[in-house]
């Protein structure tokens, strides 16, 4: 695919000044990538100045939430430039998400070219301190203006990016969510689509009022085994072994999840992907058999969990942060930031574009 | 609230030519209403020319589907002008949908003023044949540009409209959906939000390949009782009595559903709102006890169902359309189009604006 670099995009980049405070996902890079899908084919891509999208008020995405997205990070990678972490996994997951909502999957080559061109041109915006990154957000949406509940015939694919601080939510207190569900059986739980996130906002707002940070979602089918947090996968350490819910159709297949499992096995840890009953888990925390728990995701990498709240009961983890969480976090970040050898071939180097 | 009528909106209306073929929800009226919510309060409303919305690429609605909508119809109402059917019910439901997704509810007065001003100015676009209407689509969305998964702090509320033909899907063949779910237990099934519709597209695409028209969704909790179709409620006639699934938290509370129940009771029909087991239902169709079934909604009002498909089995309804469906459809349409007395106070008359 050929990508047209608009001169205005280069001008935006040259004129951009990094704010002193970045936050996470709030400062946007001054360029974006766009490709359009119409009449069964993808257009050439363009790198444009970041700016408002012109969307028809009847566009399907605004009414029927026909959209999906990805999140990945670009890091300063040693002296070699900029590294992306396993972007081909995000490309594959976005194709899966798109198909679940009857959208044309973004071809892997288009996804990779788009992410590459944005990162290559935003290399100067990748912050340099450990844990900081350029957060990259590809998204796809149905744009056909038509109020019928049918799949759109027109789509737009964008990649935007946000220079971001390290995201450290600190020790998290989770609320065991026994009322709401994040996703349905045979629903969209294993796809990265907007509806999952919209549905989760009510639970988050309720638990914040109770002093908690995140919901721990149960499986919508059995209402008794742990699925995940909103946007992060769940891990627990029991008797020194690492346990995480097995993929079951309603859990998002996290890239960080899979990478931590690989690193844990590589370090000789005993690893179990299995159904974890919530009442068993709470009991094991209470008895001290489950010593630590943590969540993982692209943004925070690894976040220790200090407490699980269930109705009137509170279950405190003995170690937060615990040694396994910290060991895995360090191992992953060392690879991502080029301090450790990339033994699994996870890093994808981006050649910096001259502006 | 004061509403600013932009001169360009009036010019758009004066210059608008109705196309010969309307379809349903594809021709858009040349004006739209907009109000914005920011810093905890609603702006004044405006009537603008219909045109592209300028949305920040990081707007929450595009990533996290924080949006909800309504659908209602404006009819030619006798000689008196234009009638809306129970718009206050749509206002109440939209407030409920908004709250489910942590959005500020659109106040009833704002909702009513907005719908009124659009319909008053589009009176010339309300088609005159029986069954035709101006389809009115209010929608609300989170517009704050910020990639964190939190409720937006900024919102936009729009009302757009589409002059539409009568929507007659004809006799429908339904597929009993035993794999996918439309909504989750404790999910968003009783809210009119985009994610429900996005999740349903996969089932619809599968069943169309099998020659069916719509999914019959089962309750996501028990997987054994009937919930609804995508965007329409379900009714069956058994031994002359009318049965429909009771509202259970995963069924959208249809305005047409409630109106048909009222008309049925008023006509002396025996009416049951209850859990309907799918296997019982199929058995009663096979034995001839269930003689007819139909779906209802704002767009089609009443749509007869001719067949239920379940795996390799097909269950044909004895009567499609059946007499109860037709009786209720006529009773409702007669009220909506001013041929019958409005005994329930359902019609809301709109004073036509001079252009």
Chain A residue numbers touching B213 (CB-CB < 8 A): none
A157 and A177 fall within a common domain: no
Quote the DSSP letter at residue A124.
G
Task: Tell if the CB–CB gap between B194 and A62 is shorter than 8 Å.
Answer: yes
A11 and A160 fall within a common domain: yes
B100 and B237 fall within a common domain: no
Chain A residue numbers touching B62 (CB-CB < 8 A): 53, 61, 67, 139, 141, 194
Task: Tell if the CB–CB gap between A57 and B186 is shorter than 8 Å.
Answer: no
Tell me which residue of B161, B6, B167, B164 sits closest to B87, measured CA to CA: B161
Q: Look at residue B339 and tell me if it is in a domain.
A: no
B158 and B261 fall within a common domain: no
**pLDDT classification of B326: cutoffs 50, 70, 90:** very high
Q: Look at residue A329 and tell me if it is in a domain.
A: no
Which residue in the set A50, A147, A187 is minimally distant from B25, CB to CB? A147
Tokens coding A214: 């995140």
Which residue in the set B28, B193, B199 is minimally distant from A188, CB to CB? B199
Cα torsion through B150, A112, A140, B103, rounded to 10? 0
Task: Tell if the CB–CB gap between B50 and A57 is shorter than 8 Å.
Answer: yes
B7 and B156 fall within a common domain: yes
Range of the domain at B60: 3-167
Please state the length of chain B.
355
Residues 6+ apart with CB under 8 A from A6: A46, A47, A48, A49
pLDDT tens digits, one per residue of B70-103: 999 999 987 778 999 999 999 999 999 999 999 9
pLDDT at B169 over 80: no
Q: Look at residue A347 and tell me if it is in a domain.
A: no
Task: Tell if the CB–CB gap between B197 and A58 is shorter than 8 Å.
Answer: no
Which residue in the set A56, A186, A204 is minimally distant from B180, CB to CB? A186
**Residue B246 and residue B243: Cα distance in Å, rounded?**
9
Task: Tell if the CB–CB gap between A198 and B188 is shorter than 8 Å.
Answer: yes
Task: Tell if the CB–CB gap between A148 and B202 is shorter than 8 Å.
Answer: no
Report the chain A residue with the minimal C-alpha distance to residue B61: A62
Q: Look at residue B326 and tell me if it is in a domain.
A: no
Chain A: nearest CA to B270, how far in angstroms? 33
A242 and A307 fall within a common domain: yes
Preceding amide of A8 cis, omega within 30: no
CA angle (B45, B51, B57) in 5-degree steps? 90
Report the chain A residue with the minimal C-alpha distance to residue B56: A52
Task: Tell if the CB–CB gap between B183 and A187 is shorter than 8 Å.
Answer: yes
Mutate to test the interface with B, among A29, A56, A57 (most CBs of B within 10 A): A57
pLDDT tens digits, one per residue of A318-327: 999 999 999 9
Chain A: nearest CA to B91, how far in angstroms? 17
**pLDDT classification of B225: cutoffs 50, 70, 90:** very high
Chain B residue numbers touching A199 (CB-CB < 8 A): 101, 184, 187-188, 195
Task: Tell if the CB–CB gap between A25 and B58 is shorter than 8 Å.
Answer: yes
B143 and B246 fall within a common domain: no
Calculate the alpha carbon distances from A169 to A214, A231, A299 in Å: 10, 13, 10
pLDDT at B239 over 90: yes
A124 and A202 fall within a common domain: no
Q: What is the pLDDT of residue B36?
A: 98
Which residue in the set A28, A71, A184 is minimally distant from B183, CB to CB? A184
Q: Look at residue A333 and tell me if it is in a domain.
A: no
Chain B residue numbers touching A160 (CB-CB < 8 A): 57-58
**CATH number, domain with residue A289:** 3.20.10.10
pLDDT tens digits, one per residue of B147-167: 999 999 999 999 999 999 988
The H-assigned helical ranges of chain A are 7-15, 60-64, 87-100, 108-121, 194-209, 255-266, 278-287, 323-336
Q: Look at residue A93 and tell me if it is in a domain.
A: yes
Q: A157 pairs with which residues across the strands?
A: A35, A140
Mutate to test the interface with A, among B35, B62, B176, B231 (most CBs of A within 10 A): B62
Task: Tell if the CB–CB gap between A25 and B148 is shorter than 8 Å.
Answer: yes
Cβ pair B245, B225 in contact under 8 A: yes
A216 and A274 fall within a common domain: yes
Chain B residue numbers touching A58 (CB-CB < 8 A): 25, 28, 137, 160, 162
φ/ψ of residue A169, rounded to 5: -70, -5
B85 and B216 fall within a common domain: no
A126 and A193 fall within a common domain: no
Query: Of A167, A186, A213, which residue constitutes the final position of a domain?
Result: A167
- Mean of the per-residue pLDDT values for chain B? 95
Chain A residue numbers touching B147 (CB-CB < 8 A): 24-26, 71, 135, 137, 162
**CATH number, domain with residue A50:** 3.30.470.10
Query: Of B106, B136, B167, which residue constitutes the final position of a domain?
Result: B167
Which residue in the set A54, A160, A180 is minimally distant from B187, CB to CB? A180
Mutate to test the interface with B, among A52, A155, A185, A186 (most CBs of B within 10 A): A186
Q: What separation, in Å, do the N-terminal and C-terminal C-alpha atoms of chain B show?
A: 21
Task: Classify residue B153 by burial, with Cβ atoms within 10 Å: 0-12, 13-18, 19+.
Answer: middle
Which residue in the set A101, A141, A179 is minimally distant from B201, CB to CB? A101
Which residue in the set A62, A135, A146 is minimally distant from B25, CB to CB? A146
Residues lower than pLDDT 70 in chain A:
1
Q: What is the pLDDT of residue B144?
A: 98
Q: What separation, in Å, do the N-terminal and C-terminal C-alpha atoms of chain A show?
A: 21
The total domain count for chain B is 2
Q: What is the pLDDT of residue B166?
A: 83
Q: A76 pairs with which residues across the strands?
A: A82
Query: Of A145, A167, A189, which residue constitutes the final position of a domain?
Result: A167
Chain B: nearest CA to A146, how far in angstroms? 5
Task: Tell if the CB–CB gap between A57 and B28 is shorter than 8 Å.
Answer: yes
Chain B residue numbers touching A197 (CB-CB < 8 A): 63-65, 149
Task: Classify residue B140 by burial, with Cβ atoms within 10 Å: 0-12, 13-18, 19+.
Answer: buried
Quote the DSSP letter at residue B123.
G
pLDDT at B289 over 90: yes
Mean pLDDT value of segment B54-62:
98
Q: What is the pLDDT of residue B128?
A: 85
Which residue in the set B187, B194, B202 is minimally distant from A63, CB to CB? B194
Mutate to test the interface with A, among B33, B165, B199, B295 (most CBs of A within 10 A): B199
Q: What is the pLDDT of residue B351?
A: 92
A to B CB pairs, distance under 8 Å: 222
B274 and B133 fall within a common domain: no
Q: Look at residue A354 and tell me if it is in a domain.
A: no
Q: Look at residue A212 and tell me if it is in a domain.
A: yes
Chain B residue numbers touching A148 (CB-CB < 8 A): 24-26
CA angle (B49, B50, B55) in 5-degree steps? 110
Distance of CA B135 to the CA centre of its chain: 10
Which residue in the set A56, A65, A199 is minimally distant from B67, CB to CB? A65
Which residue in the set A26, A69, A205 is minimally distant from B102, CB to CB? A205
**pLDDT classification of B69: cutoffs 50, 70, 90:** very high
């Amino acid at each position: 695919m050929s990508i047209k670099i608009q001169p205005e995009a280069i001008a935006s980049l040259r004129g951009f000044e990094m704010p002193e405070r970045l936050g996470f996902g709030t400062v946007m890079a001054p360029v974006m990538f766009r490709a359009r899908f119409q009449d069964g084919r993808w257009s050439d891509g363009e790198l444009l100045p970041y700016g408002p999208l012109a969307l028809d008020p009847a566009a399907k995405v605004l009414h029927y939430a026909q959209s999906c997205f990805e999140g990945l990070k670009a890091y300063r990678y040693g002296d070699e430039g900029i590294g992306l972490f396993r972007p081909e996994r995000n490309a594959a997951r976005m194709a899966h998400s798109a198909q679940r909502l009857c959208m044309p999957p973004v071809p892997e080559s288009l996804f990779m070219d788009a992410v590459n061109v944005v990162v290559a041109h935003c290399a100067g915006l990748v912050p340099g301190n450990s844990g900081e990154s350029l957060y990259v957000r590809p998204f796809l949406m149905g744009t056909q203006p038509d109020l019928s509940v049918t799949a759109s015939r027109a789509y737009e694919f964008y990649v935007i990016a946000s220079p971001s601080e390290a995201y450290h939510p600190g020790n998290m207190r989770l609320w065991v969510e026994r009322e709401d569900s994040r996703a349905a059986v045979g629903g969209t739980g294993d796809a990265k689509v907007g509806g999952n996130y919209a549905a989760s906002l009510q639970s988050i707002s309720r638990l914040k009022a109770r002093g908690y940070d995140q919901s721990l979602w149960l499986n919508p089918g059995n209402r008794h085994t742990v699925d995940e947090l909103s946007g992060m996968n769940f891990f627990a350490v029991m008797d020194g072994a690492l346990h995480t819910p097995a993929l079951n159709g309603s859990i998002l297949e996290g890239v960080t999840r899979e990478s931590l499992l690989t690193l844990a096995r590589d370090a000789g840890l005993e690893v179990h992907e299995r159904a974890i009953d919530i009442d068993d888990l709470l009991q094991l925390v209470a008895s001290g058999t489950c010593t630590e728990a943590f969540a993982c995701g692209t943004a925070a990498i690894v976040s220790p969990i200090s407490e699980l709240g269930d109705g009137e009961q509170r279950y405190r983890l003995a170690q937060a942060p615990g040694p396994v969480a910290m060991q895995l976090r360090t191992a992953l970040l060392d690879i991502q930031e080029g301090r450790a050898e990339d033994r699994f071939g996870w890093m994808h180097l981006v050649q910096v574009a001259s502006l």
